[in-house]
Amino acid sequence: MHAIPKLKNTDSNRFFLMAGPCAIEDRDMALRIAERIVELTERLRIPYIFKGSYRKANRTRLDSFTGIGDEKALRILQEVGETFGIPTVTDIHESGEAAMAAEYVDVLQIPAFLCRQTDLLVAAAQTGKAVNVKKGQFLSGSSMKFAVEKIRETNPDAHVILTDRGNSFGYGDLVVDFRNLPEMQSFGVPVVMDCTHSLQQPNQGSGVTGGKPRLIATIAKAAIAVGTDGLFIETHFNPAEAKSDGANMLPLDQLEALLTQLVRIKEALNEK
């Protein structure tokens, strides 16, 4: 497996990036996306973790795409890590999945709706892998200290990451409260801003989640400006054809320009 890069921000280093497709759709797609992002992040000197879900358990409709098979997708994630020498991250949904996924990836991610599930957090911590917990849409940043405590009490050496993905705003929208980022950083863990899921419009009448991808750059720039440690961005060659969450993904051909701008913002902040 691969070492997790130094993730906690300081005035002298840059933010890190978790990025990739929402779901692993096939081997070729995953490798092509990873290859492109690796090229960009190496050139811009941004620590990079490849993201891909081996299975999508939280779907609005029964006929929504959920995955290509757990083991098949996990083996693709493993191949991505081995091919490019980078760490990988994937979601887990039940405590029984933690040990299985830990055999293939470097970071286990806890979905936002499940961030209070004690058995799931404990199982993830017991694997010894880094654990990225997404803040529930129904929680404040300060409430996430309890998720951190559950993991650290289970495994004092656990590498914990917290990710904000917005808060529920009405029935079908989210809003980002940037106060949550420094609040969660006060727990001594690296904090990530999820720039794509925070722009979702969940539970639309069609049964397909909507989104506002035109605002991804806005969320990302604001997060860097307030000092977030990392960014989470789902991206695809053609979001319109993505089998999951295409409505709020960043087209891959727009990633270079965005990362370049973000590096400049970070450098400007460091100069001060």
* Residue 148 pLDDT: 98
* Residue 239 pLDDT: 86
- Label residue 124 exposed, middle or buried (CB < 10 Å: 0-12, 13-18, 19+): buried
Least confident of 4-13, 99-108, 254-263: 4-13
Strand partners, 64: none
Where helices occur in 103-254 by DSSP H, the ranges are: 118-126, 145-154, 180-185, 216-225
- Confidence (pTM): 0.91
Q: Nearest Cα to 93, choosing from 40, 56, 137?
A: 56
**What's the mean pLDDT in 64-83?**
89
Q: Provide the mean pLDDT of the chain.
A: 89
Contact (Cβ atoms closer than 8 angstroms) between residue 71 and residue 54 = no
d(CA 182, CA 200): 23
Question: Which phi and psi (to 5°) does residue 228 adopt?
Answer: -60, 150
Q: How far is CA 80 from CA 33, 100, 198, 249, 260, in A?
A: 10, 17, 26, 20, 24
Domain ranges of the chain: 16-271
**What's the mean pLDDT in 102-125?**
97
As given in the structure block, the two tokens for residue 79 are 């191949």
d(CA 7, CA 4): 8
Question: What is the enclosing helix (H) or strand (E) of 17?
Answer: strand 16-20
Give residue-wise pLDDT tens across range 209-231.
566 778 999 999 999 999 999 99
Q: Which fold has domain 16-271?
A: TIM Barrel (3.20.20)
Strand partners, 23: 53
Q: Nearest Cα to 66, choosing from 240, 243, 247?
A: 243
